[in-house]
Structure 1
Amino acid sequence: MTTHSLRWRIVWPLIFVLTLVTIIVAAGLYFYLMTVMTNSRSADETVLPHIASSIYQDSAGRLLLLPTPELARLQEESPDLWFIARAEGDRKVQYGQVPPGLETIAAQLGNILDGDLRAEGASALTSQIARLPSPAGELRIMFGGRLQADSFAVELLSRMKIIYLPFLAFTLIAAFLSVPILVKRALAGLSRTTEIATSIDIDRRGQRLPPDDVPEEMLPLVTAINAALERLDHGYTQQKRFLADAAHELRTPIAILHTNLEAMPDSRQQRKLLNDVGRLANTAEQLLDLHRMDNNMQSMEELDLVELCKSVAGDLAPNAIAAGYELSFSTNRDRIPVSGDAGALERAISNLVRNAIEHGGGKGLIQVVAVFPNIIEVTDEGPGIPADQREDVFEPFYRTAPKRSGAGLGLNLVKQIVQRHGGEVAIIASDRGARFRISL
């Protein structure tokens, strides 16, 4: 199944729209300038360096004109070229003829910093005033007679690239960097809600997703999920109550049936029936254990694993011997203190020993071992559990063979008890039989 990030599904359209708007604004500005701005041409300012290089001052400080090759080339290319250069002290030098109508402006050249005079078409009145440094000091030059190749609008737009292109690049880079961050912050509440949702499990019922931190568009989904959780909690509670009530109701008729069977004459059929009733009583007790575990595992206290395992082994030794086994208990410490629920851990160890008695083949040795640090092992010498079923046997109602006895609840109960103590239970590979290990 292909999944898509909600954040990037928002980010990419936003970046695309921002980029498109930027390009449209740039294109609109370009066509606006081309429409409203004049297409006249200005004097060609590229001649200024050549003009400045042809002016020098003599020993008396007068400005003189040097016929440089560059100046000769300009004159050949533009016969109407003219200029006036003025320096401090009213010193000046002139080249070519100033067009009529510009003499008054040329006379005030010393008082003008710069200027750009444009006339219609190719009029001789088009000219520029500029300032340039030179060996004779700062020169104020007024020139004309040579026009630029491009119109003023084209020239201005070409110069705008220096400002516009970095601005466009900055805008796009800022969009790529800032939009994901802003969207992530906007969806931060949804991320927190997701974290809470991942923490909800069967052992933490009653928890709901907070509706305050999510975007308004996600609120219906959060509300629907909370409603579904409410229904699941209600159904789970009803199911657990039904199982507990059913188990309680079964205990009395099972006990009466067991008493009546014991009163019957000893026979093979009686022993078989007693064994079947015993399994039925054990199943009812396991159902009650599941109910007790949900309601009674509230307080943890310090207990001794050695004493706990020794007690379980002692209680179940008659059952094991009657079924044809030997039962032993060993430990490497006199005392192994742990924090836990004594009743729940006792039921977990008992279920492992009962499982060994039930499926260990009816002969051999069943060992209960308590090892520091906080490890309990129960082993038998039976047929063992196939490697591909070692995870499945901890699922409720799972049996390694369909015709085997038992309801398949014992090992699931062990797993739940151990997990609620923060530990784990596993089946360890063994050369012979089954080897269960609880690590707390």
Structure 2
Amino acid sequence: MMLLKLIRERVDEAAVVKTVVENYMARFANNEITVFKNWTIENTYLYLAKGRKTTFLSATGSLSVDQVEKAISRLMSLPEDPLYVPVGGPKPSDYSEPPEDFEKIPDLVKKAIDAAEGVERNAGVIHLTYTKAWYEDTTGREGSYSVNRVYMTVRSFLGELSATGAIAGRRLSEIRAEAVGRENSQILSLARGLPHIRVESGVVDLVLSPLVLGHLIGQVVQMWANGLEILSGSSRYSKEDLGKEAASPLLTVVEKTYDPSVYGYVPFDFEGITPRLVEVYKRGILGGFIHNRRTANAFGTESTGHALYGWARPAAGHIDIAPGDGPRELDALFLDLKNGFYIHNNWYTRYQNVKTGQFSTVGRDIALQIKNGKPAAVVKYIRIADTLENVVKNVAELSKEARQIYWWDMPVPSTAPYAVLRNIGVTT
């Protein structure tokens, strides 16, 4: 890239990443598409090193000469970087796939709406992206890739009740829009005519949808299994915890950004490193952490290829929660739960203490009280209020099937099943 030629004589090391993301989005409300648009976002990211001093900068579009000059001047006055590691590694592998046909998007919207039988109206979004990225550094390593990603959310309404379903994949043909519509219809039909109650604070048993389970386990991976958070002392875990029992023996969680079939896949990260499989939990045993080259060097290990959004902090791109032996059908899971609550979606996750994982998250849309294995009431204003450690340790059952899911309030795209959790705190 021309940018490296301009600065090669001014610094010891440099790396440039350029991304171009083509976005195609359809929004719909009241069963009609209200917005169908496309836009492109270009970004340039630059890493600079002089001795053991480092700095990073980024810009929408291209970096100007003035921005680069200021960054180099700032670099000279910075202290040494305690996580400095020389630029290097295997050559990034090139990968290219053609863009998806965005004109098929309206067909998926129609399928979802048609499948949501018995509801009054539907709203939602389908968002397709085609990402192209280029990497080059001063050691001569360079590579490029192009990948598709798509997710869909549908929110269905019946009176004052609502239910949100989501699905994600790499291609439009993988989006089973009708399944999302049917799921919303099923949940709303279960709630139709039930009395409305408020939850009392206490410890209860729960069934969590894939959306909720994926959200919470994503929080665990991003914060507790993250090399930088461990080094800074913000994580519940340390290197000494590897190989120890840390979760339910039913829980196996794998970071799968390396997998070409998942939403979030990339052939290489911001350091030009190919992501690799990380078993965060293997049947409840803490198995690994996500790293970039900087944190891996501090741990005395190799990068897992998770410098996904910049050089400073590792990040997860897709987590896979292995399914279990539980039933596929929601009514059968309610029978296994017996008494407790079903939470269909959540948002506004907040922390009282990140290190201990003390959190609360608000139930969004439908939540159901389950009595003797059957829905008994619609619950208003329910909030899970507990610790992440209790979440991962108290998994009592996982459904046989898992699916790829993502929506804008999830921390990490996920493949997740339904889950039964025992003895979890809730409040209003």
Question: TM range, normalised to the smaller chain?
Answer: under 0.3
Give the structure with higher Rg (CA): 1
Q: With structure 1 as the length reference, what TM-score do the two structures score?
A: 0.19
Q: With structure 2 as the length reference, what TM-score do the two structures score?
A: 0.19
- Larger helix proportion, structure 1 or 2? 1
